[in-house]
Amino acid sequence: SIVQRATPEIMASTTKPHLVLIPWQGSISHIIPMTDIGILSASHGAAVTVITTPANAPVVQSRVDRAAPPHGGAAPAITVTAIPFPGAEAGLPDGSERLDLLRSPADVPRFFAANKMFGEAVARHCRGASRRPSCVVAGMCHTWALAMARELCVPCYIFHGFGAFALLCIEHLFKHRPHEAVASPDEVFGIPVLPPSFECRVTRRQLPPHFSPSTSMGGSHMQEMREFDAAVDGVVVNTFEELEHGSAALLAAATGKKVLAVGPVSLSHTNTSLDPRTMSEDARRCMAWLDAKASRSVVYVSFGSAGIMPPAQLVQLGMALVSCPWPVLWVVKGADSLPDDVNKWLCENTDDADAVASSKCLVVRGWAPQVAILDHQAVGGFLTHCGWGSTLEAVAAGVPMATWPLFAEQFLNERLIVDVLGVGVSVGVTKPTENILTASKTVDGSKAEVVAEVRKEQVMEALERLMDQGAEGEERRRKAQELKLKAKGALEEGGSSYVNLENLVHSFV
């Protein structure tokens, strides 16, 4: 059955514009920013409905609850609607409502089949709802949302979860296909998207799955997504216009669509993740550990919501982290599936068991409060997989990055961070790491490598540059601080993202 939780304000309101947001439920990293877009839109006067699945509804609801002012005042006008996910009808076990909850890559096509049926249920719900949407914002894989929006005669925006620079590169790759002109998957070629002189230099191997001959998602889904992309009325991007050197405007020119940069959306939560009433035990442990560290002394290490490394690679990274001179806060995902010897190594080398404030390396095996960590004055650098959410959160906090892309569009983000923005140092990874969408096949169709590409020494070298106290490090810190100020300004009244949110909420396409 469909479950809805709405604030009294939204029930009473009939005149407000009504934004319906349907995050792609494949990944928590899509659900987070779309919920935050909802929170920001509500603060611009919209009534907002976020439609998701039952297993994901608590993620949305807890963010919405945290956005409410801690000492009273109006709660954001947001309804969270949970519509059952028809996983069983597609042959999935109960609760398979995100890609990270699937048993294996073989379940991915079933997940997409279930998502189609989910779309039919969402459309039925929206058709019958007492409050019609005035605008729909759909996650990138919800290709069915376009027909629904057309039937309801309302504009349909897409949210990819990518930055504008990456989207611009992808648009160029689709249109001009420079990757097809190179002789090997390791030959470097340029994507000339930022005139007059900047070329994004990558290899075919490093491109997002759109350009890979085999993904567990299947080519027909990729094609459908491309058609969806081409047909929507506009694009909502978690970025701000001042950040990506005009990429949003160039994307608008290249696609002929409205491109609304409305971020950094994590700033909708300033300080609220530190509220002790809502902090998890892991979060409390992280904040207490950081409180005992000197200003800008800590390296924060995280590879996103789903970044799992081969065990051999994890050990090389771990050896660098335990031997480097800086305190390290390290988030490890997938620890359940690590071989016993690696798990033992982790426990013995990282003081995981006793989280004493003086320990050099704090390992978090659950969910870390990333935005609050990056905002903490003890953090001096971020070793990141360059997921767009993490990238923007680092930018918003003014923290320089060491870049270790894993997959998807992360190699494109790395080039932006290092070459365009000058706020990062590259670890120098050349090959993507396998994930559920690319598992068992690499770009070439050969078996993925399970050995460690990146050695301990290479990680150490990148960390030394990241934490460098000399002129080079100082210049990166200065640029990062400059971007932090611009990020904050973008969301202030009259700022570029503020104006774009007004546009999204009040004038539609």
Q: Is 208 in the site for ligand UDP (CB under 6 A)?
A: no
Q: Can you say whether residue 88 is alpha, beta or left, with left for phi > 0 and alpha for psi between -120 and 50 degrees?
A: alpha
The least CB distance from residue 278 to ligand UDP, in Å, is 13
**In three state form, how does the secondary structure of 449-485 look?**
CCCCCCCHHHHHHHHHHHCCCCHHHHHHHHHHHHHHH
Nearer to ligand UDP, 154 or 170 (CB): 170
Q: Does 304 bind ligand UDP (CB under 6 A)?
A: yes
Q: Does 370 bind ligand UDP (CB under 6 A)?
A: yes
- Inter-axis angle of helices 164-176 and 247-255, to 10 degrees? 40
- Contact pick of 390, 403, 426, 497 for ligand UDP (by CB under 6 A): 390
331 binds ligand UDP (CB under 6 A): yes
The 3 state secondary structure assigned to 201-217 is EEEHHHCCHHHCCCCCC
Q: Which of residues 134-163 bind ligand UDP (CB under 6 A)?
A: none
- If we measure between CA atoms, which residue out of 413, 438, 453, 328 comes closest to residue 403? 413
Ramachandran area for residue 330 (φ above 0: left; ψ -120 to 50: alpha; else beta): beta
The count of chain residues that interact with ligand UDP, using the rule CB under 6 A, is: 18
Q: Quick one: 134 or 370, whose CB is closer to ligand UDP? A: 370
Report in angstroms the alpha-carbon separations of 400 from 296, 391, 394, 478, 484: 11, 10, 7, 9, 11
| Residue 261 in the binding site for ligand UDP (CB under 6 A) | no
- Tell me the per-residue interface mask from 340 to 369 with ligand UDP, x by CB under 6 A, - otherwise: ---------------------------xx-
Contact between 371 and ligand UDP by CB under 6 A: the answer reads: yes
Closer by beta carbon to ligand UDP, 144 or else 388? 388
Report the residue number, 266 or 496, with the smaller CB distance to ligand UDP.
266
Nearer to ligand UDP by C-beta: 388 or 411? 388
Report yes or no: 304 and 386 within 8 Å, Cβ to Cβ. no
Cβ closer to ligand UDP: 371 or 436? 371
Q: Which listed range, 292-300, 305-313, 314-322, 446-454, lies at the site for ligand UDP (CB under 6 A)? A: 305-313
Rounded to a whole number of angstroms, the minimum distance from the CB of residue 175 to ligand UDP is 25
CB of 266 to ligand UDP, least distance (A): 7
Q: Does 209 bind ligand UDP (CB under 6 A)?
A: no
Amino acid at 91: G
Q: How far is the CB of 205 from ligand UDP (least distance, A)?
A: 18
**Residue (370 or 442) nearer to ligand UDP, CB:** 370
Beta strands, E only, 244-287: 258-261
Q: C-beta of 273: minimal distance to ligand UDP in Å?
A: 9
Contacting residue, 25, 96, 305, 426, with ligand UDP by CB under 6 A: 305
Please list every residue from 16 through 55 that binds ligand UDP, using CB under 6 A: 27, 29, 32
Closest residue to ligand UDP: CB criterion: 387
Binding segment toward ligand UDP, per CB under 6 A, in 7-15, 60-68, 387-395, 480-488: 387-395
The backbone torsions φ and ψ at residue 506, rounded to the nearest 5 degrees and listed phi first, read -105, -25
Candidates 104-112, 383-391, 490-498, 499-507; binding stretch for ligand UDP (CB under 6 A): 383-391
Q: How far apart (Å, rounded) are the C-alpha atoms in residues 160 and 21?
A: 13
Nearer to ligand UDP, 389 or 473 (CB): 389
Closer of 242 and 393 to ligand UDP (Cβ): 393
Distance CA 189, CA 66 (A): 45
Residue 184 is encoded by which pair of tokens? 């090997």
**Between β-strands 18-22 and 3-5, what pairing exists: parallel, antiparallel or unpaired?**
unpaired
Q: Do residues 391 and 384 lie in contact, with contact meaning Cβ atoms separated by under 8 Å?
A: yes
User: Which among 487, 508, 485 is positioned nearest to 496, based on CA atoms?
Assistant: 487
The span from the CA of 3 to the CA of 1, in Å, is 6
* CA–CA separation, 509 and 240 (whole Å): 19
Write each residue from 306 to 325 as x if it is in contact with ligand UDP (CB under 6 A), else as -, in one continuous string.
Answer: xx------------------
In whole angstroms, give the CA distance from residue 59 to residue 45.
23
State which of positions 81-100 bind ligand UDP (CB under 6 A).
none
Among residues 43, 142, 20, the alpha carbon closest in space to that of 508 is found at 20
388 binds ligand UDP (CB under 6 A): yes
Pick 66 or 506: Cβ nearer ligand UDP: 66
- Within 284-303, the residues that bind ligand UDP by CB under 6 A are 302
For residue 22, the cross-strand partners are 138
**Which 3 state secondary structure label does DSSP give 235?**
strand
CB of 484 to ligand UDP, least distance (A): 16
Nearest residue (CB) to ligand UDP, 134 versus 305: 305
In angstroms, rounded to a whole number, what is the distance separating the alpha carbons of residues 308 and 310? Answer: 7
Whole-number minimum distance, CB 374 to ligand UDP, in Å? 8
Q: How far is the CB of 369 from ligand UDP (least distance, A)?
A: 6
Residues near 23 by beta carbon (within 8 Å), at least 6 away in sequence: 30, 31, 34, 35, 50, 52, 56, 60, 139, 159
Q: Which residues bind ligand UDP (CB under 6 A)?
A: 27, 29, 32, 302, 304-307, 331, 367-368, 370-371, 387-390, 393
